[in-house]
């Protein structure tokens, strides 16, 4: 049965269980929001939701605590997203669980999360001796935030998106660190940076920046915001190639980084942690 966001643990007092409990994961179908965006049938994009979990702990067979950083790659064509607070509660249910090895934990996480997301999920674990090797860096591209603009609208307005359809096509990468949206259920702020790669009619940068800033009072989950940005740019500016990648700051020991694209270079986006993450 479909679950609604307001039925999730968000905004409600949480009871942290010390017993492993996969039933804590709260799935929300992607289909409803996609229907709102006019997405039906074959998806106009592919992509990933890259989750990084920094507060992963369990006990070894002798009862000694172990820690790791987990990276979870969720395909964009999975049936559902998982509400992030339920994800945190689920991870914390391992805190007093004895497991034979990190590989056992990874296998359990892969099975449970694949079931909750409704698609094959890839899980990797970085152990403490690997922490220093984890990549860090900022999104590259032309910085939209350099523009000195006046803002008076704080809801996303696709009419702000225009492109030079009569001019020579371009290929460029644009970046803004001014993306802010709000949780669909609690209204808590979600802060992020966004990278837009495209090839086609040159997009008006001032209008694009105003459009992105317009998410400042908008209530939607991370994955839904990125898909809305992708679809609005695709429809209004009509690029031949388009990818949208957002790196959101962490909350509750989790960050979520959605990527949507309609073309491939054979590589996934870098999971380098940005300065604000």
> Cβ neighbours of residue 258 under 8 Å, at least 6 residues apart?
47, 48, 49, 50, 76, 222, 223, 225, 226, 227, 245, 246
> Among 2-11, 150-159, 183-192, 238-247, which is the least confidently predicted range?
2-11
Q: Please state which CATH number belongs to domain 142-261.
A: 3.30.1130.10
Distance, in Å, from the CA atom of 24 to the CA atom of 54, rounded to the nearest integer, reads: 19
pLDDT tens digit string along 146-194?
A: 999 999 999 999 999 999 999 999 999 999 999 999 999 888 999 999 9
Catalytic residues: 183, 190
At 148 the three-state DSSP class reads coil
> Cβ neighbours of residue 85 under 8 Å, at least 6 residues apart?
8, 9, 10, 14, 26, 252
Whether the domain at 5-133 and the domain at 142-261 fall into the same CATH topology: yes
CATH class, domain 5-133, is: alpha beta
From the number of C-beta atoms within 10 Å of its C-beta (0-12, 13-18, 19+), residue 20 rates as middle
Q: What average pLDDT does the structure give for the chain? A: 94
33: tokens are 């929001």
> What is the pLDDT, as a whole number, of residue 19?
86
Task: Give the pLDDT band of residue 10 (cuts 50, 70, 90).
Answer: very low
pLDDT tens digit string along 36-78?
A: 999 999 999 999 999 999 999 999 999 999 999 999 999 999 9
Helices H, strands E: what count in the chain?
5, 12
> What is the pLDDT, as a whole number, of residue 1?
43
Distance, in Å, from the CA atom of 36 to the CA atom of 175, rounded to the nearest integer, reads: 26
> What is the pLDDT, as a whole number, of residue 13?
55
**Of 262, 157, 267, whose CA–CA distance to 199 is shortest?**
262
**Where in the chain are the domains?**
5-133, 142-261
Helix (H) or strand (E) holding 258: strand 254-261
């Amino acid at each position: 049965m479909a679950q609604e966001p307001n039925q999730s643990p968000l905004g409600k007092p949480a009871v942290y269980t010390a017993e492993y409990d996969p039933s804590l994961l709260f799935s929300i179908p992607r289909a409803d929001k996609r229907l709102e965006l006019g997405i039906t049938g074959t998806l106009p994009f592919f992509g990933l939701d890259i989750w990084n979990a920094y507060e992963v702990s369990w006990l070894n067979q002798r009862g000694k605590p172990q820690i790791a950083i987990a990276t979870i790659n969720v395909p964009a064509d999975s049936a559902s997203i998982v509400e992030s607070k339920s994800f945190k509660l689920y991870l914390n249910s391992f805190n007093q669980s004895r497991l034979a090895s990190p590989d056992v934990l990874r296998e359990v996480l892969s099975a449970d999360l694949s079931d909750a997301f409704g698609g094959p999920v890839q899980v990797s674990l970085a152990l403490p001796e690997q922490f220093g090797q984890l990549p860090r860096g900022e999104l590259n591209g032309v910085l939209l935030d350099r523009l000195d603009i006046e803002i008076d609208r704080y809801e996303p307005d696709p009419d702000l998106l225009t492109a030079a359809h009569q001019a020579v096509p371009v290929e460029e990468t644009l970046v803004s660190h001014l993306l802010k949206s709000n949780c669909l259920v609690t209204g808590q702020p979600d802060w992020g940076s966004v990278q837009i790669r495209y090839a086609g009619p040159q997009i008006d940068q001032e209008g694009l920046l105003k459009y992105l800033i317009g998410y400042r009072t908008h209530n939607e989950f991370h994955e839904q915001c990125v898909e809305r940005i992708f679809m609005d740019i695709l429809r209004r500016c009509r690029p031949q190639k388009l990818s949208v990648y957002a790196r959101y700051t962490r909350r509750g020991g989790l960050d979520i980084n959605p990527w949507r694209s309609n073309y491939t270079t054979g590589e996934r986006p870098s999971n380098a942690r940005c300065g604000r993450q």
